């Protein structure tokens, strides 16, 4: 029995990311991928039962892993002395840094958008990172509401509103062919504006 290894899986995902970026979902094939890797399609299917499952693995590795890192930092902030404004700022900076300066993450995100109307890939993308992110923010904001720092509202809706404010100034970049890099200072300023706008609207009346 042939043993599957993490190193081999990682190599498949890395090469698949390049292929999806170059050819899109429809244009990419398991045959082409196996040719590039120097193996057989049978080997690929031992790791990934379908092209769809392979795309999900690529999305998790390339386009949503930064959300997990940002969420981990966010939840760690709640373990000690907690400053909501600072925690939201740090979270936002981590989130936007990758979303806007990682070319491959942007390319894969575009593949997901293109495919969402035809297959479950879009929903699988959401479940692989964004949903976890929204759940973590909801929990933190709900606790802030309980402490009286924010007015009472639906924590999940508040989380969705906050993340929308974070991406408001950069959303158009997904439609640009070669969006210019954004500096760390620019990201910080964008997040400051988003956090201040959110807290202004969410503060107790």
CA 148 distance to own-chain centroid? 30
* pLDDT tens digits, 93-152: 988 887 776 777 888 888 888 888 887 878 878 887 788 889 989 999 999 999 999 999
Q: Which CATH superfamily is domain 60-202 in?
A: Tetracycline Repressor, domain 2 (1.10.357.10)
**How far is 184 from 163, CA to CA, in rounded Å?**
18
Its CATH architecture, for the domain 6-58, is Orthogonal Bundle (1.10)
Residues contacting residue 96 through CB under 8 Å, at least 6 positions apart: 166, 167, 170, 182, 187, 190, 191
Task: Give the Cα separation of 133 and 191 in Å (integer).
Answer: 17
SS3 93: helix
Residues of the chain with CATH 1.10.357.10: 60-202
pTM over 0.85: no
pLDDT, one tens digit per residue, over 136-191 is 899 999 999 999 999 999 999 999 999 999 999 998 888 888 888 889 999 999 99
Query: Which pLDDT value is given to residue 1?
Result: 38
Query: What pLDDT score does 75 carry?
Result: 64
Among 150, 121, 122, which residue's Cα sits nearest to residue 138?
Answer: 150
Q: Give ranges for CATH 1.10.10.60 in the chain.
A: 6-58
Q: Which residues contact 191 (CB under 8 A, 6 or more apart)?
A: 88, 89, 92, 93, 96, 166
Residues 91 and 62: beta-carbon distance below 8 Å = no
The encoded tokens of residue 20 equal 């999806």
Which residue bears the tokens 């949503």?
A: 64
Q: Identify the pLDDT of residue 153.
A: 96
3-state DSSP call for residue 175? helix
């Amino acid at each position: 029995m042939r043993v599957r290894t993490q190193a081999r899986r990682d190599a498949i995902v890395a090469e698949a990311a390049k292929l999806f970026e170059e050819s899109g979902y429809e244009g990419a094939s398991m045959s082409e991928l196996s040719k590039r890797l120097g193996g057989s399609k049978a080997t690929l299917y031992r790791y990934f039962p379908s092209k769809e499952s392979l795309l999900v693995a690529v999305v998790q590795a390339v386009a949503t892993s930064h959300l997990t890192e940002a969420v981990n930092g966010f939840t760690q902030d709640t373990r000690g002395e907690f400053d909501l404004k600072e925690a939201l700022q740090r979270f936002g900076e981590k989130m936007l840094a990758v979303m806007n300066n990682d070319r491959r993450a942007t390319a894969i995100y575009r593949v997901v958008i293109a495919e969402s109307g035809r297959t479950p890939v879009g929903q699988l993308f959401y479940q692989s990172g964004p949903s976890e992110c929204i759940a973590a923010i909801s929990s933190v904001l709900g606790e802030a509401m309980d402490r009286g720092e924010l007015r009472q509202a639906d924590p999940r809706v508040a989380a969705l509103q906050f993340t929308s404010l974070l991406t408001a100034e950069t959303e158009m970049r997904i439609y640009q062919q070669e969006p210019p890099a954004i500096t760390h200072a620019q990201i910080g300023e964008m997040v400051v504006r988003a956090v201040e706008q959110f807290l202004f609207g969410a503060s107790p009346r």
